[in-house]
Amino acid sequence: MNKRLKFHAKSPFFSTVKLRVDQYFEQTDKHRHASSAMWLKAAFFLFGFLGCYAIIISNTLPALAMLGLAVLLGVFSAFVGFNICHDAIHGSFSGNRHINKALSMVFNLLGASPYIWNISHNGVHHTFTNIPGHDEDLVVAPGLIRIEQDDPKRKIQRYQHWYAFPLYGLASLSWVFRKDFMKIFQHKIGQVALRHPKKEYFNLFASKALYYFLFIALPFIILDITWWQFLIGFLAMHLAQGFTMGLVFQLAHVVEGTDFPAANPTGTMEEAWAEHQMRTTANFCSQNRTAAFFLGGLNSQIEHHLFPKICHVHYRAIGKIVKQAAKEYGLPYIESQTFGDALQSHYRVLKKFALEAKSAKVQYQAS
């Protein structure tokens, strides 16, 4: 389908929940952006990221210690993305667009383009969540991982519940070397046609060059290690970063109970956009303060998808409002109580499609 999808305009559910959320901020006299605690958290993760890099590049530690720091740097990179860049690119970190713009530029230091992310994630994924052919976030290792019915079956997918998790670790490497370049030269993302300003091509190549210098060239010049030691450290950093990021994103939309709806022949979805979000998005341990601290509210994806312009530090509070409204309107509120529950649910989805590939009677496509 090449038509731009349309959702039903009226949503009594969203009108109600939006009104109640507005009332919450009015009654509590809070603003929708970062609190002082949020700024402290952002500083913690940013300084942790920069500190790990500085200690590694100082060349004062033995190789094994630097390897451990490389893994920690990868984890901090993911947490910086979750807690700072994600909100900033959505415009929810601050009410000042210049602050959001500055913080979103930190994304370049993680090896990813904030411009491309804004289009593919904010514009496409948040609008066409879990819709095959439109939401490119569903495209994870094409041909290797099958997570929705329209994907073709392949023999290798019989084992996807075993190899999917290690593959998630490659997400960061894909961003650094492939994904952003591929997307900026595509004519469309999903079914959304694109025309990029010329300056964005320069920005992309310049930011990638800066990243390659800081994380490849400079370590080679400064560190007293062999090329294979550097390669192990670089891969360890990205596997830690990619696995942390990839796994958390999967638990938001690819668990039991989430839908992968298709549009009708006229290009219209059966429900309003907000109802669609309730059926395609899931939370896990959303009332857990520790999870919210590290994951930047990505464990409260339902609230994030409904209110992406609200900083994630408010999701625990407004989550109670959303859950009550969903109950009143007969809508699902998909959530796992713990991270482990969500992980098992995602595993069962992978295994379900693995069993379908194993028992398929149709002719397999070439692997």
**pLDDT exceeds cutoff 60 at 366:** no
From 155-159, 166-170, 187-191, the region with the lowest mean pLDDT: 187-191
Question: Would you call 351 exposed, middle or buried from its count of C-beta atoms within 10 A (0-12, 13-18, 19+)?
Answer: middle
**Average pLDDT rounded to a whole number, residues 80-91:** 96
- Other beta carbons within 10 Å of 160: 21
Residue 140 phi, psi dihedral angles, 5° rounding:
-115, 115
Which candidate, 234, 288, 307, 251, places its Cα nearest to that of 87?
307
> Do 167 and 190 form a contact (C-beta atoms < 8 A)?
no
pTM above 0.95, yes or no: no
Six token digits for residue 204: 């992309």
d(Cα 134, Cα 262) in Å, to the nearest integer? Answer: 10
pLDDT of the residue at 3: 59
pLDDT of the residue at 188: 83
pLDDT of the residue at 263: 77
Which candidate, 123, 155, 149, 154, places its Cα nearest to that of 136?
123
pLDDT of the residue at 361: 55
**Average pLDDT rounded to a whole number, residues 205-229:** 95
pLDDT of the residue at 367: 44
pLDDT of the residue at 151: 82
pLDDT one-digit tens code per residue, 31-40: 999 999 999 9
